[in-house]
Amino acid sequence: MVTREGSRPASVEQQLKELGIELPPPEPFGTYAEAVQTGNLLFLTGMLPTEGRGPKFIGRVGAELDVQAGRQAAHLGALNALAVARQHLGSLDKVTRIVRLGVSVATVGDVREHPKVADGASELLQHIFGKDKNPSRMVYGVASLPLATPVELELISRSPFDASFLKRDLKMVASPLLTMR
């Protein structure tokens, strides 16, 4: 995270503004929740390199796309993940750490540059949240991904504990039980 001479670190939201990064939230491409929070962990899945209702990158690294295009796709997937996290939490300033980043890379069989592709997402997150908050990372090579995109990201982030979702979930569980009397 960027700091100014003699000042405290910029907030994540301020950092995004200074970098000119806008985060329009992507639309899900199926019947699933893009974000699920349990306790102080937020799980994001299915983060694709899309803009609007379609993929910006199509193909496999090593076939239709080179490593640089894969990095750009991973970068866009990370931006989409941040947009979903902001939509769910209200502000990215609530994210205290990215705990884990998983990157699936669609490749042809002899490609070995998976980590370089995943760095497109990792470097963005490091630039925004700071080097001291780098997540653990897992990178997978796969044969294909949804919408023929070259990457798909999953992210786990930590934020302060918010019990409000527990109340909602408890109501959902208790409501049918109360009507059974």
Closest Cα partner for 75 from 151, 17, 143?
151
Residue among 154, 151, 155 at smallest CA distance from 74: 151
CA-nearest of 34, 42, 101, 43 to 74 is 101
**What's residue 161's pLDDT?**
76
Low-confidence stretches of the chain (pLDDT < 70) are: 1-9, 162-181
Residue-level pLDDT at 10: 78
62: region left, alpha or beta (phi > 0 left; psi from -120 to 50 alpha): left
Nearest alpha-carbon partner for 124 in 44, 16, 18: 16
Q: Where are the domains of the chain?
A: 12-179
- Quick check: 34 and 48 in contact, CB under 8 A? no
12-179, CATH topology level? 60s Ribosomal Protein L30; Chain: A; (3.30.1330)
pLDDT of residue 7: 42
Q: pTM of this prediction?
A: 0.84
